Each structure stands twice: as structure tokens, then as C-alpha cells.
Amino acid sequence: MDQTARQDARGALPAGLGRAIRQTAADIAAVLDGVVDTRTAVPGSQWTVGEAAAHLALANELMADLAEGRERPYGDGTPQSLAAANAASLDGFAERRAAPLATMITEQAERCADALAARADGPAPLTPLGPMDRSVLASYLLTHMLGHGHDLARALRRPHMIDAERVAWCMPFMLRVMPAVADGSATAGLTARYTIRLRGGGGAFGITLADGAVQVTPEPRDRPDCTILIDPVGFLLIALGRRNPWLATARGQVLAYGRKPWLAPRFPTLFVAP
């Protein structure tokens, strides 16, 4: 996928990324369609469906504001501060009905995509995870929607909307944020070179760890210690903390090879999902 060549006719946003954002918001609205009782628990979360949908609506509004140039402080980037900011925003927002939240999710996603597509210049928006180029912010928006959209679909026993093409549009954000979410206690003392390859032509990237420092490159590493071949959807779900890596391995979604293939099981433990 040539993300630099496929630009939205209105500005700087790659056309495929803009479509993925709009389609994902519409898919989430479809998951919420007809839901009357939003008190259903989201598996693996302390939130209900109503709370998860409200968080998603508020987060889309936050990112739309950032895309339009507004300053919106929201934690300091650590998982603890983001959780506190999420809780505070939900406490101040009473809506939990599915239909109004679905409308807000789609409208704010459209607003964010429109703002990001309208211009390529200007300062990098300051997001909850630090400054980001506008196309990376769009990738962040999509990744965030896919994670919580998956949660809602799972809670309501409906098909989720994650596919290989959308995962490809998540990769600019994933590569940008991985060093920031590395677990220092897990990476301390580890020296290793990983190449991660996404099946089905999904691309590859490299990660080098040395004495706690984490470097991510958009190209595979030369002479990696460990190469991990993984299904794109499985990669995103594991990276977002939505799937057990051991389960993915058991299902044949992960294959490791190279000089030190035993480094593969350690890889998911090196990062903390924001």
C-alpha cells in the first residue's frame, strides 16, 4: 500500500485511511444498532457497553478537537494517567444510550477525518501520547476505534470490523507509539533484534532493543535474532491487549524463526497497551 501516493483529494489524509476511519465508525454504529440495554459487561474490561461506547464517543470528540487545532490536555501518556483521564471524562458525561452514542461516534469521526484531510501544514497536534503528525493522528483515531469497536462487538456477540487492510492503516501509529509504551522493567538488560512480518503482504518492520532503549524502524532489521510471522488481525489484537499471545500461537497465527526463535514469546511482554 503506497500511503504517500494515495492522498485524499481534499488535502493531506491518505484516501484509504480516510475511508477506513469513516467505515469503521459506521461499522461501530451498526454494532450498536438496536441495542436497548447497554449495561452488558464488556469482556476483559471494567466497563459496560454503554461506558465503552461513551468513552469512544468522547475520544473521537477529543481527537477531532486536536485535529482542528484545539489544545486538550488529557493525562501524561502513562497508562495510569490515561485511565484516570478516561474515568474523569466518563464521570462528567451521563449519556449511555446506544443510539445517541452511535451518532456521536460517527459524527466526531467524520469531523476529525475532515479536519485532518483539510490541511497538511501547521504544528503537530499534541495528543495524549505526545505530538503526532496529522496522518499519524488519523492512524491513532482508527486504531483506537478498532480496539473499542472490537470490544463492543464481542460484548454484543456481533462480528467485529478488524481486517488486514485496516490493520495496515494502523501501522503508522503503532510504529510511532511502540517505544513510548515499552515496559522498562521488561526491556532492561535485553539486547535483541526483531523483525515482525505481517502475513498476506501486510509489510514488515524492525525493533532493536539495547540496554532498555527501544528503536522501531519501518523496515525489517538486517540479521535479526528473531523473526515473527503473524496474522495482521492477530498482531493488532495482541498489541492492543485484546488477545492472549499464547492462544494466537496455538491457533497457528504466530510463527517464529531465526537464530534465536525462543525470543518470540518474550516479545509481547515488552510493551504495555496504552
pLDDT digits (tens, 9 = 90+) for 106-161: 999 999 999 998 876 667 889 999 899 999 999 999 999 999 999 999 999 999 99
Half-sphere exposure of 101 (CA within 13 A, CB side): 29
Q: Do residues 84 and 129 make contact, with C-beta atoms less than 8 angstroms apart?
A: no
pLDDT digits (tens, 9 = 90+) for 175-229: 999 999 999 999 999 999 999 999 988 899 999 999 889 999 999 988 999 999 9
pLDDT digits (tens, 9 = 90+) for 249-267: 777 789 999 999 999 989 9
**Interval 18-24 mean pLDDT:** 97
Cell numbers 495528543 correspond to 127
pTM of the model: 0.92
Which helix (H) or strand (E) covers residue 215, if one does?
A: strand 213-217
How would you class 159 by CB atoms within 10 Å of its CB: exposed for 0-12, middle for 13-18, buried for 19 or more?
exposed
Domain 182-270 has CATH 3.60.40.10: no
List the chain domain ranges: 15-178, 182-270
Q: pLDDT band for position 273 (50/70/90)?
A: confident
Least Cα distance to 117 among 5, 8, 19 occurs for 8
Query: CATH number for the 15-178 domain, one of 3.10.450.50, 3.30.70.100, 1.20.1090.10, 1.20.120.450?
Result: 1.20.120.450
At residue 8, does pLDDT exceed 70? Answer: no
> How far apart are the C-alpha atoms of 193 and 203, rounded to whole Å?
17
